[in-house]
Amino acid sequence: MLFHLFDYLQEHNIAGAGLFQYLTFRASLAVVISLMITLIFGKKIIGLIQKMQIIEKQRVLGLPGEEMKANTPTMGGLMIHFAILVPCLLLADLTNVYIQLMLMTTILLGGVGFLDDYLKLTKGKDGLAGRYKILGQVIVGTIIGLVMLFHEDVVVRVSQADVDKYGYEVVEKVSESRAVYKLDGSAGVYKEEMYYVKTTMTNVPFFKGNEFDYQYFLWFLGDNAKDWAWIIFIPFIIIIVTAVSNAANLTDGIDGLAAGTSAIIGAVLGIFAYVSGNTILAEYLGVFYVPYSGELVVFTACFLGACIGFLWYNAYPAQVFMGDTGSLALGGIIATLAILVRKELLIPILCGIFLVENLSVIIQVTYFKYTRKRYGEGKRVFLMSPLHHHFQKKGMHESKIVARFWIIGILLAVLTIITLKVR
């Protein structure tokens, strides 16, 4: 809203109004506002949750400190949503399709998580049936896939050679100045015809010329492959959104783990959004230039501020839990950001903590069922799953587990950034 107000003021030559055109300024302001919202209103939100008796009941899992967590307010994800949505509505360009998709993802998956938490507290411990959670995630993934396929503003810049080779649908032809870097260190600038096209291309890490199009799976259709690429693209988007959303939910098991890990991932995705939306950086680093995606920097700043601000109350010992209201949305936001900047194939590296937590549950359940069927008695690989509970069972303190997971998350984040140049 402020963005549009200052845009109007700039049109009328009001001094200083142009400051809001700078992504870095609005992103910095978004972090500050998001943090202020959580720090100023956090206690009031927690107090309201307590007053409404929205509290965590004691779980009997045999873990240390269970009795301390009983009667802790939950559904603190509302605080995260508030801290994301308010600065985003104030500072982002609300006509931008990428911002619209992020707001949709935040609200819809936050709503699914809220309903799950509400039913757990009012109707029983099971909450919303798993199939309905997945249905919500499928709806979000489908909307994202359809918008990316058909919205006129969702395009990628490619060369004439790519258009000739793959027959992409051209939305706009432009003449752009491109820099050529020579071996002797000199550089020249020349004009080249470039095309903004509709495509299902994405970036592949660790490979030079790292372009991959989902239509390649339909190579046997020849020239018709691009017309049927949606058959592969949309289900793949749905799988990513569902998997990362549920993995974030599983990671939310001890104080500060999900919020801190999400903040690290969000910071990296903010960097990718800035690179992908900057024609010079995208050209230099050899990634797709995605017009209008730079606006996602503002959203990731809101996301980063919300996660860090939530940690003020969620760090051990937690004063509030995020619940599914927060965790399902955090995972969905991360997945959607990665998809929109065409970096979804980096998720296994960047979201390595989420991946390992998810795999630990799959391995534990699969092995238990297998051994029970074969030997008549179920056996376990881990003392308990998800993985963070395994270390708790071994006697490691929550704070140490969270700190070490954060360190690993930072290492994975650095490795993910390095993929921009290592090919």
List pLDDT tens digits, range 67-79. 667 778 888 999 9
Mean pLDDT of 30-52: 90
Q: Is the dihedral of CA 123, 125, 130, 134 positive or negative?
A: positive
Give the count of beta carbons closer than 10 Å to the beta carbon of residue 357. Answer: 26
| pLDDT number for residue 167 | 73
| pLDDT number for residue 273 | 95
For residues 269 and 192, the model is more confident at: 269
| pLDDT number for residue 218 | 87
Q: Which of 19-33, 49-63, 130-144 has the lowest mean pLDDT?
A: 49-63
pLDDT digits (tens, 9 = 90+) for 158-169: 877 777 777 777
Is residue 367 predicted with pLDDT exceeding 90? yes
| pLDDT number for residue 270 | 96
Is residue 403 predicted with pLDDT exceeding 90? yes
84 falls in which pLDDT band (50, 70, 90)?
Answer: very high
| pLDDT number for residue 174 | 74
Is residue 99 predicted with pLDDT exceeding 70? yes
Is residue 355 predicted with pLDDT exceeding 60? yes
Mean pLDDT of 341-351: 94
Cα separation, 116 vs 141, in Å, equals 19
Q: Which residues pair with 73 in a beta bridge?
A: 55
Q: Which of 88-97, 216-225, 341-350 has the lowest mean pLDDT?
A: 216-225
Q: Nearest CA to 310 among 28, 38, 109?
A: 38
Mean pLDDT of 247-262: 93
Specify the length of the chain in residues: 423
Question: What pTM was estimated for this model as a whole?
Answer: 0.92
User: Does residue 180 sit in helix, strand or coil?
Assistant: strand
Q: Nearest CA to 323 among 21, 151, 69?
A: 69
Mean pLDDT of 364-369: 94
310 neighbors 259 (Cβ within 8 angstroms): yes
Is residue 282 predicted with pLDDT exceeding 70? yes
Average pLDDT, the chain: 87
Cβ-Cβ contacts under 8 Å for 201 (sequence gap 6 or more) = 156, 158, 211, 212, 213, 214, 288, 342
Percent of the chain at pLDDT > 90 equals 55
Tell me the CA distances in angstroms from 383 to 240, 252, 317, 360, one per residue in order. Answer: 28, 18, 23, 11
Sheet architecture: strand order including 187-198: 156-159, 187-198, 169-181
